[in-house]
Amino acid sequence: MTLRVEVLLERWQLREPFEISREVMHELPLISVSLTDGSGHTGRAEAAGVDYDGETPASMAAQIDAVATLLRDDLSGKDLLNLLPAGGARNAVDCALWDLRAKQRGLPVWALAGLPQPRPVVTAFTLGLGSHEEVRRRARAARGLPLIKLKVDAQRHLDLLHIVRDELPEARIVIDANQAWTAGLLADLMTDLIAAGVELIEQPLPRGADDALAGLHSPIPICADESCTDRSSLPALHDRYQAINIKLDKCGGFTEALALANEARAHGFDLMVGNMCGTSLGMAPAFLVAQLARWADLDGPLLQVGDRTHAMTFGQGVVQPPQPALWG
């Protein structure tokens, strides 16, 4: 039986403009997807898509509409890998399908996926780019949080890092350049990054310029974000990166995220699980994948004015497992 498919285009207001090296966001465009079977069970999910690859809510909705008649009740996550390419559309459908299966069978997704019962996760809190005054204000507001992710670019890096370290002397810090650095700048900054206690450098070089990292043996692990999509991207990351950032929007859903996590760990990569921003509905499936990861970055809802009903609970940098009424 074909599932009833509903796709909504949504916009969620951010608490304040969120700047990274390539853009400034004022609101977050999303799609939400509902899949309903003949008995009235409904699975829900959302996706933000991969904006730097040109995905928009409209393009994701069109992708889903093109395969809507093929979304049958007996469809599996593995079937979906052949039906849609990696990206936001497949992520939304795949996660909605997992939620639907949980509702149909009366079992949580973690049990259906063969995962252990989830535990609370320490999540990074992200500080976007800004002036010295803005970054200092945000860092002060983040006092007491254990893990900070600091956005930087080619001009603003050590100055912002020193401000954050001054305000948050005990915090663990991850740096994210979003492809804005060169190999030379990375080398120039390395001593200061080590001295400031940075524990991970995320995507310093542009995607496609990864050859410059070959054989680097960086004292701080380097994490592939934009350079890592799904399992097909892993071979090109060897000898260049020590960790990968798994985002469900990039890899195309919970099914591929689990497979990517397991294959990456088997090849010696550490894992971060991140997000393209979103509500608790988008963080919930990523939370289960984060059970396998060294770092989690699931703070999307904290950057927004509102959230879903039955929202996930965040406190002192720790996120609790989602309620079944939200997802899974």
Pairing of strands 314-315, 42-47: unpaired
Confidence of residue 25 (pLDDT cuts 50, 70, 90): confident
Output the average pLDDT for the chain. 96
Residue 234 has pLDDT above 80, yes or no: yes
The arithmetic mean of pLDDT across residues 170-188, rounded, is 96
The arithmetic mean of pLDDT across residues 179-186, rounded, is 96
Q: Is 39 exposed, middle or buried (0-12, 13-18, 19+ CB in 10 A)?
A: exposed
Do both 98 and 213 map to the same domain?
Answer: no
Do both 130 and 92 map to the same domain?
Answer: no
Structural domain span for residue 128: 121-319
What are phi and psi for residue 162, nearest 5 degrees?
-65, -35
On whether residue 327 sits in a domain, the answer given is no
Q: Tell me which residues are annotated as active site.
A: 151, 247
Residue 1 has pLDDT above 90, yes or no: no
In sequence order, what DSSP letters do the residues of 216-267 get, joined into one string?
A: ---SS-EEESTT--SGGGGGGGTTT-SEEEE-HHHHTSHHHHHHHHHHHHHT
Q: Which residues contact 220 (CB under 8 A, 6 or more apart)?
A: 190, 193, 194, 198, 199, 200, 201
Residue 23 has pLDDT above 80, yes or no: no
Residue 76 has pLDDT above 80, yes or no: yes
CA distance 219 to 211: 18
* pTM of this structure: 0.95
Tally of CB atoms within 10 A around 169: 8
Question: Percent of the chain, pLDDT > 70?
Answer: 100
Per the structure, the count of domains in the chain is 2
CATH number at residue 258: 3.20.20.120
CATH number at residue 80: 3.30.390.10
User: pLDDT for 276-305, tens place per residue?
Assistant: 999 999 999 999 999 999 999 999 999 999
Token pair, residue 57, equals 């809510």
On whether residue 39 sits in a domain, the answer given is yes
Tally of CB atoms within 10 A around 111: 13
Do both 48 and 159 map to the same domain?
Answer: no
Residue 24 has pLDDT above 90, yes or no: no
User: pLDDT for 94-133, tens place per residue?
Assistant: 999 999 999 999 999 999 999 999 999 999 999 999 999 9
Return the pLDDT at 152: 96
Do both 95 and 195 map to the same domain?
Answer: no
Total residues found in the chain within this entry: 328
Residue 18 has pLDDT above 90, yes or no: no
Residue 19 has pLDDT above 80, yes or no: no
